Structure 1
């Protein structure tokens, strides 16, 4: 009886040591994107044994904004968009943006004020129109 338990145990250990599958787990996916690779914008970091400042560890747009502030400039245009006339289909109100869409708060065309409405202006659309006042918006190219 002892011999049969020992032989069964040895058979189990041999089965565990054998490779169960020869399938490779090395898989590589095709990297594809509509956007080309961009440069990584990062600070110099801190020397060893020192806690980095916000300037030293800032990356991306935050770093660009901080560098512009050091020069006394604004990186982002934060001024409101003043309307002098109502946008039409032929001459829409141009909204500057580098993104594929932008949120715009419309309070009405000059002389036709209404409650604040937020509109999502998209680059894919020819125009976007405020449902309240009919002002036409378009993203810049």
Structure 2
């Protein structure tokens, strides 16, 4: 009984005046922007038409003490895409493929690519008549046919001709050979 009273009394005293007093204050530090030297990086944001090389794709960054916007902190291809969108240019041509017809061997649906390989998702004709089937077209095998609907897709390479990563320029992929599939045994005229 004595133990219960002492525990109750201790709890009552703790509720009135806690043993450890904590201060719940916050501090605020303000940095004033230092004046930039005359030889510092140019903070002007370039237009899409002013981009000439990789060095132009580095953003100016944000002023000290502020949170950067996407345009201020973006670099590389992301920056190129944002600058293009600001001027109405779709840099990566993100429009859907032509779904108004089914591709045939004589008139395939063209898939533009800047690289050696591109993935195309076929949903059939008319559109959404089957689940999306992902096809791989490449520079070595530019024509692919959908196994569900028979639609034909052909890759059109639009990248640089002197691409050092191209298979045509002897870039070694560490001895990797693409596995053989049923398509390797079909006559080329049926592809």
Q: TM-score, with normalisation over the residues of structure 1? A: 0.58
RMSD after superposition: 2.7
Aligned residues: 104
Q: Is the 8 A contact 2:58 2:79 kept in 1?
A: yes
Runs of 4+ in structure 1 off by over 6 angstroms are none
- SS at structure 2 position matched to 1:55: helix
**Alignment partner, residue 59 of structure 1:** 75
- Kindly indicate whether residue 130 of structure 2 is the aligned counterpart of residue 98 of structure 1: no
**Alignment partner, residue 91 of structure 2:** 75
**Alignment partner, residue 39 of structure 1:** 54
- 1:38-95 superposed Cα distances (whole Å, 9 cap, x missing partner): 7342112345565543222211111011112322443332222123332222332111
In structure 2, stretches of 5+ residues that fail to align are 1-52, 158-191
Distance 1:52-1:122 versus aligned 2 partners, 3 A rule: same
Q: Is the 8 A contact 1:68 1:75 kept in 2?
A: yes
Deviates more, 1:40-49 or 1:115-124: 40-49
Name the CA distance, whole Å, in 2 between partners of 1:96 and 1:90.
Answer: 18
- 1:87-137 superposed Cα distances (whole Å, 9 cap, x missing partner): 222332111222222222111134993222121222220311111112111
Name the CA distance, whole Å, in 1 between partners of 2:142 and 2:95.
Answer: 25
- Kindly indicate whether residue 101 of structure 2 is the aligned counterpart of residue 88 of structure 1: no
In structure 1, stretches of 5+ residues that fail to align are 1-37
Q: Which has the higher strand share?
A: 1
Distance 1:87-1:70 versus aligned 2 partners, 3 A rule: closer
Q: Is the 8 A contact 1:95 1:139 kept in 2?
A: yes
Name the CA distance, whole Å, in 2 between partners of 1:45 and 1:82.
Answer: 39
**Alignment partner, residue 137 of structure 2:** 121
Q: Is the 8 A contact 1:83 1:110 kept in 2?
A: yes
